[in-house]
Amino acid sequence: MKYYEYNSELDKIEFFNSFTGIETVHINGKMVSKRFSITGTEHKFMIDSSEYKIITRYGLFKSYKYNLQLLKNKKIIDLKHIELNKKYRLIVVVIAILLIIWLFNLINTL
């Protein structure tokens, strides 16, 4: 699901995240970064001779919001706080509960 789009003069930067935790960054439709994240990560990429970075932070069980910072040459050029939809929140809670149950069962078998 696309959560973020930034349009510069010539380039379109898009940020996607799946409910499985796979984050991807696309420049003009081409994927330039792919990372797994539960609570956030950093994506680094180049456009022409400029260094860009997207920093994601996710308020797991707190705010259910994505905080995204877009940096160009180490300076913040855009900042977004994106509230996740209720369906996504429900999926995250169900996965967390299933992981807790699995870990509890694993510990009890040791």
The two structure tokens encoding residue 25: 């960054």
pLDDT, tens only, 5-15: 999 889 999 99
Q: What is the mean pLDDT of the chain?
A: 86
pLDDT for residue 83 is more than 70: yes
Residue 14: give the domain boundaries.
Answer: 2-84
Helix residue ranges, H only, 11-85: none
Q: Cα(46)–Cα(60) distance, rounded to whole angstroms?
A: 29
pLDDT of residue 70: 96
pLDDT of residue 64: 66
Looking at per-residue confidence, does 91 or 48 come out higher?
48
- The number of domains in the chain is 1
Confidence of residue 71 (pLDDT cuts 50, 70, 90): very high
Residue 41 belongs to domain with CATH number: 2.40.128
Average pLDDT for 64-76: 90
Residue 51 lies in a domain: yes
Residue 99 lies in a domain: no
Q: Cα(84)–Cα(71) distance, rounded to whole angstroms?
A: 22
Average pLDDT for 48-60: 88
Average pLDDT for 51-64: 80
Residues in the chain: 110
Q: pTM here?
A: 0.73
Q: Among 23, 27, 33, which residue's Cα sits nearest to residue 14? A: 27
pLDDT for residue 88 is more than 90: no
Q: Cα(85)–Cα(83) distance, rounded to whole angstroms?
A: 7
